[in-house]
Structure 1
Amino acid sequence: MTTHDGIESLLRPSSIVIFGASSRPGTAGQIILNQLLEDGFEGDIFLVGRTAGQVGSRPILADPLDLPEGIDLAILTVPAAGLRDAVVACVDRKIRGAVSFASGFAEVGDTGRGQQEEIAAIAAAGDLALLGPNTVGYYNFVDGLTVMMIEQKAPPALPRDSGPAVAVIAQSGGIANHLSGSLRARGVPISYVMTTGNEAGIDVSDLSGHFLEDERTSVVAAYAEQIGSPEEFLALGAIARAKNKTIVLLHPGRTAKGQEAASSHTGSLADDYAAMRVAIEDAGILLVETTEELIDLCQLLLYSPIPREGGLGLVTTSGALCALSADYLDSRGLDTPALGAPQIEALTDLLPDYLSARNPLDLGTLPAWKPEMVGDGARQLLSDPAIGSVLVSLPLTEPDRMMAWLSSFAQAHKEQPAPAIFVLAGEDCPLPPELLRYAADNNIVVTRSHERAIRTLATYHRYARQARRTHDQAQATSFSGLPGLGSGTHAEWSGKKVLAALGITVPEGGLAGTADEAVSIARTVGYPVVMKAQAASLAHKSEVGGVLLSLGDADAVRDAWDELHRNVAAARPGLELDGVLVEAMGRHGVELVVGAKRDPKWGPVMMVGLGGVWVEMLKDVRLFSPWLTHSDIVGELNQLRAAKLLHGFRGSAPVDVDAVAGVVRAVGRLMITEPDIVEIDVNPLVALPGGEGAVALDALMVTK
């Protein structure tokens, strides 16, 4: 049985058995049975309990062996202690799928994890598609099926003419309920709500892939505390893109405390969040940081699955909001492009002299008595090719006026469809239900917070930029002539040999084993020189007095040789050096760091940022995929907070950004083609003035 077949047996069973049934009213088994009957389930329903009995006219079987073979779905309402036996019985009777609500497994520690893994192995060996344990159940709104452990009235089935919908998948029942409830309150159609719990069997990847193939689902909203099969999950990005669908993922664990909380919740093992973000976004999957973003973006992507290029167009009635937005937009990396000449001309004809035809567009008090101005203003922004999305932000007022504003905008949006959010401020005040229905019917996202809307659109634009990126296939070409590397951490001199083989410039010099050799190397490369102690375990040489600078002659080199060895011996007694690296002193420039790390689950991640001592203090870095093209790497450099330093600041010359991008690209290519390399750290990489290149002054390399 394929995973698809197993999930289908959960979603569309023709026969069901409830384990843990009892004749006592109010038990979990009876809650499930009542839900199935209320849904109008027409297939066979069997009951299995500890003792024989009856629920209405339905017999309770005391022995699972009395069940027929090949039942589609087993609903396991048994406690943790009885789950193993129930799963064994399911396998014995060749049941296709099962859902378990029991808790007390991986989320409580190693003992529970071991029990869960044993149950998972039994289910897998017996071809049983298992959802849970520690799930609260699921809804299939397409066919009208409810399998939930909590008694509640199931929402109606999704109408056939409702168009594309959102499927919600969450390890947490609380998050699933929050997401689906919020979306439904906005009139957003929901196809399925699945809670996966501890994921002993079916996981978020399985369900996401299944729903990408589902004709009723356009967007998958996923909350995952673990991604058990990263390669499988990442492969879904290409499938989603090909179908113009999107997976939007919320994953805790950006902080140590978040990782700890996720582990205690479902027994998940914490991933390296930064590496995960890079890999997931590179694959074409949208990663968000809040439930608000998840809700807003699912609705926005449902209406606008293919992002437009361009910046943000803002329409408001408040000059103050225009000013506040400028600050907030800048921090989010989103701009408001200047309008084109045709748009300025059209707006000038529409607006009184005291209002300016520009973006952001402040309509003043005009919409209070001329509601059509909302649509007229938005129409011009929507028609501008420099604008990729539009935000209309208006104050809360009486219902008729708000409806007039919304309908005016809806007409303009219908003529010029684009990603758009309509804000009616005042999130503590309810909106008329008919207004929300009208918005949903016209594919308009309505929110109550201006800042929330900006956050959502900034994330949407980030996703749009990511979606337009392509992999640089030349990065898959191996380098020739690389020096051999052993295992573990390598000293600077060894790492620089590799960098030189990549075509990266390193200072002239060599490794000296004696003071005489140091003098000879210094004479060859020319004074002044730098001398650096070399050992694989000596990552921070300057902290032990192992770096001596600006040595101007042979006597200085000999004196430095003795001083360097005394310093290292005092700080690290017994450390045996590979030798001393003697190099020509480097030129001044902008110090950057270029790094790469291979995450065991998510693969290689690149880093570039302000280097030298500033990297740890300011943490001004960008993380991205090693597959980036040259132009995309330049784009990442330009998003550094210190990017002004690269382009000439207070009289300094612009640096050779292309050379820096070339170094980054070469290191990325090495990470892709040499899987034994675990980590590379080039710090500092000195960026010289334009056209003069970049020089790697230090290098650390780690192999498996």
Structure 2
Amino acid sequence: MADTTEESRAAVRALLDGALAQGRTALTAPEGKAVTDAYGIPTPAEALAESADEAVALADRIGFPVAMKIVSPEITHKTEAGGVRVGVASAAEVRGAFTAIVANARTYDPDARILGVQIQQMVPAGTEVLIGTVTDPTFGPVVAFGLGGVLVEVLKDVTFRLAPATEDDALSMLDGIRAAEILRGVRGAPPVDRDALAGLIVKVSRLAADFPEIAEVDLNPVFASAGGVMAADVRILLAGERPAARRRYGREEILASMRRLMKPTSVAVIGASNEAGKIGNSVMRNLVEGGFSGDIHPVNPKADDILGRKAYKSVMDVPGEPDVAVFAIPARFVPAALEEVGRKGIPNAVLIPSGFAETGEHALQERLVAIAEEHGVRLLGPNIYGYYSTWQDLCATFCTPYDVKGGVALTSQSGGIGMAVLGFARTTRTGVSAIVGLGNKSDLDEDDLLTWFAEDERTECVAMHLEDLKDGRAFVAAARATVPRKPVVVLKAGRTAAGARAAGSHTGALAGDDAVYDDILRQAGVIRAPGLGEMLEYARALPVLPTPRGDNVVIITGAGGSGVLLSDAIVDNGLTLMEIPPDLDEAFRAFIPPFGAAGNPVDITGGEPPATYEATIRLGLEDPRIHALVLGYWHTIVTPPMVFAELTARVVGEFRARGVEKPVVASLAGDVEVEEACRYLFDHGVVAYPYTTERPVEVLGAKYRWARAAGLL
């Protein structure tokens, strides 16, 4: 598509400014036609008739049959007003339709200004689709695509991308709806012109991105055929005032501040206390007993010594320039103390106290933000449990220190979820690089943390619980920079909330919060977890699994029933069961009994000794055509759980030592001994779960989704 010219953009700008100056929230049909013409969006030939005679003359010039539509700034839902006629085939019919349309409109809204009736060329037949844009409060302008006409309201088969969309984005949208097969041609119908349809999506998305005052664009229906595309109806809604721009920080600014937050050499605790049961005492105790090797400076005007450390009356008295000030004082005292932190030149404030926006005290929180911006202080919180930086032995929280260092960074917006994250990590002994509470997100949020974790050599996987995003585009940019290096897992709360806002078009009504989140998080390469358990398991397992090198997955199982369930899970998670070639089938059959089954799944049967498990696993790892293994173990006396676990771990370890790294996941069915076997396997690089065939394959599917998003498959 050729770029829109400055002249075309200027024409649209003048048109929009004129409508906004009149206080209007929608463009008329002729104005919409002028906008689409400027952006090369194909629409039918049309003209405005102010009388029945003029309507007849225009219809004769355009060519019968024609469509006729009321033109009124106050009437945006023309069909509801009885203001539409299609297939009008003669001069007499045009006269009658003109009179009826105007009469219906006046009945529908007696105060509406009637500018005339639009005479429009009838659109060639084709598949009806919808293309539109909506301004999402989190992500800004997004473009939507789906089936059009009445089907869009019934099926809600719509997909979304950030605007402006690229050609690749647009092509992925064509394949992203459930009815994608219709576009490819069914029952002898020719396929639609995919390039033309994708090009139209790109043009509409560019229009929305160029003009933030456009709240919604709705092209419905668009008729798509082998011969091209044409939008039969255009509706453009305008926004009132633009949202205030959020202050943004550059990447180097974020990294400089985050480096001092996550790797501090000096920490001040404002509100430190000797009194057990107070947050200030817990924070001090955790910093000291957690082994933090840097300087710890308690600040309390009523104490000389706290936990063996010299206490200071004010943060201004603390020697040097601490990297972080941790607040453990009541909300009403925070602004004054934050002023001192700013004057002291401390770059980070960790605000544990509650009593701010979450309780309706928005002005108090806004005051904190203003103070922080004035002095160049970044704020974490308020209303959080604190944060851990485990490799620094830094426990700046009222929870107890976490002692298992590893590669998983965990963040949560909710304190309660944060406690669940912590408990899960302890129970499973998940290796953690950081655990961070975000709370009210007055300043620091997920995109700041992602920018840091992308660079942090200790972090291999990032898992985030979030209820909202302050700046969806900044998050997407940070995620896109992180995903090629390491997986990002997100649990977005509110998935089933009634998120569809009142809107004046099909596109707006369909853009419920979660529908937009789902598609755009996927566009960013993020792995979306359906629940808390999945988020935590993905975070624990993804660093354990090697990156797959191809799509061929093979199941080796000791029980036919588990093989069937594992096969179902493979399909459910978008994975591919390998078609076993004859030579590989013959090789597997050499190790399994005659009443077993090769193919895929490979069923070695439950009575086989450890040697059969070992031989078939070895074969699966040796053959380069196999890219991942799913093991289904069935508890037997012949091969007890720990025997299976030890032989599997040994074989996998041998191959990894030789440079052969393939993802291996296992489902163990049996009595309670399988729990210990799963723990052993996990510790030795095999992701294993007891009593479930779904979970190990879900984790494998998540690894594959990340590998695809990262461009590694």
TM-score greater than 0.5 by the shorter chain: yes
Aligned residue among 397, 402, 421 for 2:641: 402
1:590-601 mapped onto 2 (5 Å cutoff) = none
Give distance in 2, aligned partners of 1:300 and 1:242. 18
Q: Amino acid of the residue matched to residue 289 of structure 1? A: P
- Please say if residues 372 and 405 of structure 1, whose CA atoms lie closer than 8 Å, have aligned partners that are also in contact: no
Over 3 Å counting, the alpha-carbon distance change for 1:183 and 1:402 in structure 2 is farther
Q: Amino acid of the residue matched to residue 696 of structure 2? A: A
- What is the aligned partner in structure 1 of residue 433 from structure 2? 191
Q: Is the partner of 2:296 in helix, strand or coil? A: strand
Over 3 Å counting, the alpha-carbon distance change for 1:356 and 1:42 in structure 2 is closer
Q: CA deviation at 1:383?
A: 4.6
Q: Is the partner of 1:249 in helix, strand or coil? A: strand
1:429-448 mapped onto 2 (5 Å cutoff) = 431-432=675-676, 435=677, 438-448=680-690
- What is the aligned partner in structure 2 of residue 546 from structure 1? none
- What is the aligned partner in structure 2 of residue 550 from structure 1? none
Q: CA deviation at 1:116?
A: 1.8
Q: CA deviation at 1:133?
A: 0.7
Over 3 Å counting, the alpha-carbon distance change for 1:44 and 1:293 in structure 2 is closer
Q: CA deviation at 1:386?
A: 5.7
- Please say if residues 343 and 381 of structure 1, whose CA atoms lie closer than 8 Å, have aligned partners that are also in contact: no
Q: Amino acid of the residue matched to residue 561 of structure 2? A: A
Give distance in 2, aligned partners of 1:351 and 1:58. 68
Give distance in 1, aligned partners of 2:647 and 2:309. 58
- 2:392 is aligned with 1:143: yes
- What is the aligned partner in structure 2 of residue 452 from structure 1? 695
Over 3 Å counting, the alpha-carbon distance change for 1:314 and 1:258 in structure 2 is farther
Q: CA deviation at 1:82?
A: 2.0
1:186-585 mapped onto 2 (5 Å cutoff) = 186-243=428-485, 245-256=486-497, 272-304=513-545, 306-367=547-608, 370-383=609-622, 387-396=626-635, 401-414=640-653, 415=655, 416-425=660-669, 431-432=675-676, 435=677, 438-448=680-690, 449-468=692-711
Give distance in 1, aligned partners of 2:305 and 2:606. 70
Gaps in structure 1 of 5+ consecutive residues: 159-163, 261-269, 471-704
Aligned residue among 91, 105, 112 for 2:342: 91
Q: Deviations over 1:18-41 (max 9, x none)?
A: 212344343221222222221333
Q: Amino acid of the residue matched to residue 419 of structure 1? A: P
- Please say if residues 498 and 512 of structure 2, whose CA atoms lie closer than 8 Å, have aligned partners that are also in contact: no
Q: Deviations over 1:144-166 (max 9, x none)?
A: 1111123x2x23363xxxxx611
Give distance in 2, aligned partners of 1:436 and 1:429. 9
- Please say if residues 488 and 526 of structure 2, whose CA atoms lie closer than 8 Å, have aligned partners that are also in contact: yes
Give distance in 2, aligned partners of 1:419 and 1:431. 20
- What is the aligned partner in structure 1 of residue 166 from structure 2? none
Q: Is the partner of 2:590 in helix, strand or coil? A: helix
Normalising by the residue count of structure 2, what TM-score does the alignment of the two structures yield?
0.57
Q: CA deviation at 1:350?
A: 1.0
Q: Amino acid of the residue matched to residue 222 of structure 1? A: M
Q: CA deviation at 1:77?
A: 0.5
Give distance in 2, aligned partners of 1:88 and 1:298. 38
Give distance in 2, aligned partners of 1:7 and 1:204. 12
Q: Is the partner of 1:279 in helix, strand or coil? A: helix
Q: Is the partner of 2:392 in helix, strand or coil? A: coil
Give distance in 2, aligned partners of 1:384 and 1:274. 41
Give distance in 2, aligned partners of 1:374 and 1:257. 50
Give distance in 2, aligned partners of 1:469 and 1:73. 38
Q: Is the partner of 2:543 in helix, strand or coil? A: helix
**Aligned residue pairs: how many?**
447
- Please say if residues 172 and 197 of structure 1, whose CA atoms lie closer than 8 Å, have aligned partners that are also in contact: yes
Q: Deviations over 1:372-427 (max 9, x none)?
A: 32232233344555644322122356898212212322344342421221222369
Q: Over the residues paired in the alignment, what is the CA RMSD in angstroms? A: 3.2
Give distance in 2, aligned partners of 1:44 and 1:465. 44
Q: Deviations over 1:313-368 (max 9, x none)?
A: 2222221222334444444443422212232111111111111111112221234x
1:64-143 mapped onto 2 (5 Å cutoff) = 64-68=315-319, 70-108=321-359, 111-143=360-392
- Please say if residues 390 and 418 of structure 1, whose CA atoms lie closer than 8 Å, have aligned partners that are also in contact: yes
Q: Amino acid of the residue matched to residue 122 of structure 1? A: I
- Please say if residues 372 and 379 of structure 2, whose CA atoms lie closer than 8 Å, have aligned partners that are also in contact: yes
- Identical aligned pairs, as a percentage? 29
Q: Amino acid of the residue matched to residue 156 of structure 1? A: D
- Please say if residues 187 and 436 of structure 1, whose CA atoms lie closer than 8 Å, have aligned partners that are also in contact: no
Q: Is the partner of 2:460 in helix, strand or coil? A: strand
Give distance in 2, aligned partners of 1:427 and 1:207. 42
Q: Deviations over 1:277-306 (max 9, x none)?
A: 222222222222123322332344213353
- Please say if residues 139 and 147 of structure 1, whose CA atoms lie closer than 8 Å, have aligned partners that are also in contact: yes
Q: CA deviation at 1:60?
A: 4.3
Give distance in 2, aligned partners of 1:83 and 1:399. 66
Q: Amino acid of the residue matched to residue 695 of structure 2? A: R
Over 3 Å counting, the alpha-carbon distance change for 1:324 and 1:52 in structure 2 is closer
Q: Is the partner of 1:366 in helix, strand or coil? A: coil
Q: Deviations over 1:418-444 (max 9, x none)?
A: 122122236977733xx4564244311
Over 3 Å counting, the alpha-carbon distance change for 1:398 and 1:177 in structure 2 is farther
Q: Is the partner of 2:698 in helix, strand or coil? A: helix
Give distance in 2, aligned partners of 1:397 and 1:186. 26
- What is the aligned partner in structure 1 of residue 196 from structure 2? none
- Please say if residues 205 and 227 of structure 1, whose CA atoms lie closer than 8 Å, have aligned partners that are also in contact: no
- What is the aligned partner in structure 2 of residue 627 from structure 1? none
Q: Is the partner of 1:423 in helix, strand or coil? A: strand
Q: CA deviation at 1:113?
A: 3.0
- Please say if residues 340 and 384 of structure 1, whose CA atoms lie closer than 8 Å, have aligned partners that are also in contact: no
Q: Deviations over 1:102-143 (max 9, x none)?
A: 1232323xx323322321232122111211111101222212
- Please say if residues 309 and 464 of structure 1, whose CA atoms lie closer than 8 Å, have aligned partners that are also in contact: no
- Please say if residues 328 and 351 of structure 2, whose CA atoms lie closer than 8 Å, have aligned partners that are also in contact: yes
Over 3 Å counting, the alpha-carbon distance change for 1:178 and 1:21 in structure 2 is closer
Give distance in 1, aligned partners of 2:638 and 2:489. 33
Give distance in 2, aligned partners of 1:376 and 1:169. 42
- Please say if residues 614 and 651 of structure 2, whose CA atoms lie closer than 8 Å, have aligned partners that are also in contact: yes
Give distance in 1, aligned partners of 2:385 and 2:500. 22
Q: Amino acid of the residue matched to residue 363 of structure 1? A: I
Q: CA deviation at 1:89?
A: 2.1
Q: Is the partner of 2:521 in helix, strand or coil? A: helix
